[in-house]
Chain A
């Protein structure tokens, strides 16, 4: 792809070529502050990843501590619930990725049909409210809805003569509950991002399409969606690389750490946090983080190369 650009530039003539030559340095200079901050605060500490292979003793320092090979990794792999943890982590993440995209785009499209500025403001602000809340607060909200004797849902069920549901000990409800709250919390934020893209689309395109006799759905299909594609791909790719990680707060606070629900609520991050608390090993948590990173890296390299093939402009790198 780069070679294509290069030939174009070369063809464009000497004047331009010379200009572009100096441009690279200027562009690099622009990027430099950001690059430096990333290097210092993100790359320098990465040396600490060797802790994953060590039995870290404070008094011996990072390098002085004893090498233990893959022992810290075996702690995770030998877990009797490892397969359940992986299943939960991956499936929830896939559901979140898809639903965040779909719900975000739908809300953005709906917003785009609202003509009054005040209306847009009102809807956008209210949908954004959950994004301000921490998971601890959200867990209070979910409790107020799901509680056995005081919860709003069970109060409503009672009105219709139905039996109350003991949500915090029945596993079957939790996949839906967790997915709902995750989508709910991120809806306003995702809608905002897609809406930002939609309103920057040249309105002449729509006008021209309308004159050509295109209905609303055709305009969405042929103009809006293609314009959203780069954003969707970027957000999707970024989210995919975290497929082995999860939002600790969501999985820990919402189910109130109820043991009876572990089969459907326990993910790698909650398991590790719980396990390491008493055995207190930096090596084990570093090793887990490393596994999560490597899985993300492998996945992203694969998907990115596919994207580069078909949508080179949207590829991450």
Chain B
């Protein structure tokens, strides 16, 4: 049939495009991994390649030289990511849901209240004064979590998902005598689980990748997030090199992390989250059935 042929054509196009997209995204990743496994000399001589040349684990050994600190950084980041994401998704959803309700009286004011913070911000110094001088949260692990709990972007995204929930469902539940909280947790959340999982993943990624909050408020080198921990080793020596004209004396270049070490650091920084993502994928795929049954 014509229809069937059209669908086959569409599928062929879809699959081939996705294969191209995926390859474009995977290949650079392979380049990084293979660079991290290559020997420094081969890398400098032949440039980057998809396959490692002169395989060696020395770059990983370099990074792991000081495993206690690295493990400490992992612990901090796993804590902030786990606790932060759960708290954040709950608080954001509770803020997003009223905003998705067309019948909520103060909807527009609160929408603007939330949105305004995307446009205007006081800047780093006033935030620092508030949090460090008045709330005394410096070098406190919660400073890596609490200020980041509500991101307007995520709130609006969730609001969109909630707004698409069939209003008849809410009204039916209301007529059945369910209170707002019950409606939210028993009706709205289950139906929007796909969207919420998406947002949850983004929030988790944001916590995982955070280095700015750590840069701002942490001077205790025992409470550093993974990304900041890895970045600063490079930044420190890069900086010394950049300024070598001003400080002609005494920059020990031999401790400079090599190109391959940098690549190994990238693997340490991004690797675990990739696994978490793969795990989370179940929910996106499962989302299909949930979405279509309850619709």
Which residues of A pack against B, CB within 8 Å? 1-2, 5, 9, 16, 19-20, 23-24, 26-28, 30-31, 33-35, 37-38, 40-49, 51, 62, 106-107, 109-111, 113-114, 117, 119-134, 136-138, 140-141, 144, 147, 149-152, 155, 184, 187-189, 192-193, 195-197, 199-204, 215-216, 227, 230-231, 234-235, 238, 241-242, 282, 285-286, 289-290, 293, 296-297, 300, 313-314, 316-317
Contact = CB atoms under 8 A, between A and B. Distances in A.
A264 B295 CA distance: 48
Interface in B264-282: 266, 269-270, 273-274, 277-278, 281
B287 interface: yes
Interface string B212-245: 0000000000000001000100000000000000
B123 A49 contact: yes
A199 B194 contact: yes
Given A30-B95, A144-B48, A49 B163 contact: no
A230 B160 contact: yes
Interface of B: 3, 6-7, 10-11, 13-15, 17-19, 21-26, 28-29, 31-32, 35, 46-48, 91-92, 94-95, 97-99, 101-106, 108, 110-115, 117-123, 125-127, 129-131, 146-147, 149-150, 152-153, 155-157, 159-161, 163-164, 174, 179-181, 184, 192, 194-195, 197-198, 201-202, 205, 209, 227, 231, 262-263, 266, 269-270, 273-274, 277-278, 281, 284-285, 287-288, 291-292, 295
Nearest to B234: A136
Which one of B6, B11, B25, B155 has the highest number of Cβ atoms from chain A below 10 Å of its Cβ?
B25
Nearest to A282: B125
22 contacts: A30-B98, A30-B180, A31-B110, A38-B113, A42-B121, A42-B122, A45-B121, A51-B123, A106-B17, A111-B14, A121-B285, A123-B22, A125-B277, A126-B22, A132-B205, A138-B28, A140-B35, A152-B47, A204-B295, A300-B119, A316-B156, A317-B108
Given A113-B15, A150-B47, 10 more contacts: A2-B105, A33-B94, A34-B149, A35-B110, A107-B18, A132-B205, A197-B195, A286-B123, A293-B120, A297-B120
Contacts of A199: 194, 284, 287-288, 291-292
Given A113-B10, A121-B278, A51 B25 contact: no
A129 B274 contact: yes
Contacts of B106: 24, 28
A204 B293 CA distance: 10
A204 B294 CA distance: 11
Given A38-B117, A203-B295, A132 B273 contact: yes
Contacts of B113: 35, 38
Contact of B10 (A20, A216, A242, A293): A216
Main secondary structure of the interface of A (DSSP, over half): helix
Contacts of B7: 216
Q: Which 9 A-B pairs have the closest CB atoms?
A: A48-B126, A150-B47, A34-B95, A45-B122, A144-B48, A317-B111, A45-B126, A202-B295, A27-B98
Contacts of A227: 164
A33 to B, nearest CB: 5
Contacts of A35: 95, 110, 113
A317 B115 contact: yes
B14 A20 contact: no
Nearest to B166: A202
Contacts of B94: 30-31, 33-34
Contacts of B13: 110
Contacts of A47: 122, 126
Main secondary structure of the interface of B (DSSP, over half): helix
B122 A133 contact: no
B91 A20 contact: no
B284 A26 contact: no
Nearest to A213: B3
Contacts of A187: 21, 25
B81 to A, nearest CB: 13
B127 A41 contact: yes
B188 to A, nearest CB: 11
B123 A9 contact: no
A286 B126 CA distance: 11
A109 B91 contact: no
B284 A200 contact: no
B119 A130 contact: no
Contacts of A204: 295
Contacts of B117: 38, 42-43
Contacts of B270: 132-133, 137
Contacts of B266: 133, 137, 140
A38 B18 contact: no
A33 B91 CA distance: 7
B9 to A, nearest CB: 9
A129 B120 contact: no
Contacts of B35: 140, 144
B79 to A, nearest CB: 19
B21 A107 contact: yes
Contacts of A37: 91, 146-147, 149-150
A208 B92 CA distance: 36
B17 A110 contact: yes
Contacts of A140: 32, 35, 262-263, 266
A149 B92 CA distance: 50
Contacts of A155: 47
Contact of A123 (B21, B28, B278): B21
Nearest to A123: B18
A234 B105 CA distance: 21
